[in-house]
Structure 1
Amino acid sequence: MVMSTTATITIDLILDRHNTRDVLRAILDAILFHRLFGTVKPKTREVLGVTMPGVSDSEMEKLIEEKVDAFWREIEKGRSKHGQIVVTFSEKRPKKSWFQVYDEDVPWEQWIINAEMRQPRDHDRQDFDTALSNTLTKAIQTMLSHTSSDRGRTAVPLITKAAGISPFPVRIAVRIGDVEVG
């Protein structure tokens, strides 16, 4: 049996109520842009002066919207100011049990977005937005350097089926505190 190691990439964000949704949509869109291997129609999104790549696909856009909304609803309830969105790419591998053979999802890469909510004072707004803009630029650089690196390229399993926008299962999980939501 071959043991696989899951590549893990972490992006830390400090957000406020004003820009949370736009930033999270843009980050998720950019991750999917770099990791969907089917025929992708590209798009761009401007967030705080940073041009972010994305995927023009109604199914992926709906998934992103659902997960960002789930994150936002739970943060709005005020139970926690910290949350996490985890994007997991996996491959289907046959697994044998006593009486059957079935496919199991085996993760090959995870993107962990740690988000902390803060509310800057009015006189700190420009500095806050500038810092977040720099974080977005750094996140794009992280995506590019990882996906083009040897480690990032070898993490991708052999593509055996080219159906749809992704030959691999994609899962996006939202956690607020230690509870998965949405």
Structure 2
Amino acid sequence: MEARKRPEYVLEILVDPIYVADIVRGILHTIFFHRYFPSMRPSSLDVLDLTLPVVADPELQTLIETRVGQLVRQLSSTSSPSGGSRGELGVRFFEKRRRKGGLGGWLTSTARGEEEVCWEVWKLKFTLTTPRTETERTALLRAEAPALQKTAMTIVKIVNRDKDHIPPITTSEMNPFPYEILLNPRAESDAKTTGFFA
């Protein structure tokens, strides 16, 4: 069987310190809304006058809140008066396969005889910008809502366009595809078991 190509999507987002948590939360939920395959009741989140989808799964929501908090703390601790603090989140989706041999790259050992193979990666690169004047703050606020809308529409365009790499659902488990959200993931050559933290 020929190995599927694993796509990697990179989104760069400029954020104001006031809205960083809401924007990050909204983007993560938008990705998961389109890649979380169990049946669910849709919910929504209002961010900067935009309504974004939310996956109402307690485990996923806890993970998202944890990573949002970690990213916000990191951006706040490295922030300078001139702005420019950066942070990254990585979202990866896996499929479970029968183990064929050794581990390598994006594989990780799970239950006996299984491995998890990454089938999609999202890299979210956030840059915190701190306006120095009220005029700059107003300009940033005016630009943030359209930028968030453009990012959400980019996600929708990608998930509607790129479907061939999604593995078949071969399990009756509630969530057929394990996932992870990483703060500052390292290069893709690192194994999942090393933690992927910088």
Fold shared by both chains (TM-score > 0.5):
yes
* Map of 1:85 onto structure 2: 89
TM-score for both structures, normalised by structure 1: 0.88
Cα offset, 1:47, TM superposition? 0.8
Report the equivalent of 2:2: 2
Q: Specify which of 147, 155, 158 is matched with residue 146 of structure 1.
A: 158
| Map 1:2-151 → 2, pairs under 5 A | 2-78=2-78, 81-97=85-101, 102-120=113-131, 121-149=133-161
Equivalent residue of 1:180, what SS?
coil
After alignment, is 124-133 or 63-72 more displaced?
124-133
- Report if aligned partners of 2:90, 2:185 keep a CA contact under 8 Å in 1: no
Give the number of the structure whose residues are more often strand, by fraction. 1
Counterpart position of 2:105: none
CA RMSD in angstroms comes to 2.2
Looking at structure 2, the residues matched to 30 and 71 of structure 1 have their Cα atoms a distance apart, in angstroms, of 18
Q: Is the 8 A contact 2:4 2:165 kept in 1?
A: no
The letter of the residue matching 2:72 is: W
Distance 2:166 2:93 in 1: 9
The secondary structure found in structure 2 opposite 1:37 is coil
- Stretches of structure 2 lacking an aligned partner (at least 5 in a row): 103-111, 188-195
- Cα distance, 1:158 vs structure 2: 0.3
Provide the rounded CA distance (Å) in 1 between the counterparts of 2:68 and 2:24. Answer: 7
Kindly provide the amino acid, as one letter, of the partner of residue 102 in structure 1: G
**TM superposition shift of 1:53:** 1.0
**CA shift digits 1:106-125 (9 cap, x unpaired):** 11111111001110132122
**Contact 1:74–1:176 (Cα < 8 Å) also in 2:** no
Output the amino acid matched with 1:81: S
- 3-state SS of paired residue (1:140): helix
State the shift of 1:102 in Å: 2.6
Residue type at the aligned position of 2:151: A
Q: 1:41–1:57: 8 Å Cα contact kept in structure 2?
A: no
Relative to the length of structure 2, the TM-score reads 0.81
Q: SS at the partner of 1:9?
A: strand
CA distance in 2, matches of 1:34, 1:86: 16
Cα distance, 1:19 vs. partner? 0.7
Q: Residues of 2 paired with 1:161 and 1:176: CA distance?
A: 28
Is 2:192 aligned against 1:180?
no
- Please give the alpha-carbon distance, in whole angstroms, between the structure 2 residues aligned to 1:41 and 1:125: 37
CA deviation vs aligned residue, 1:43-100 (integer Å, no higher than 9, x gap): 11111111111111111110100111111222222178111111101111122348xx
Aligned length: 176
For the residue of structure 1 that corresponds to 2:29, the secondary structure is helix
Give the AA of the match of 2:158: H
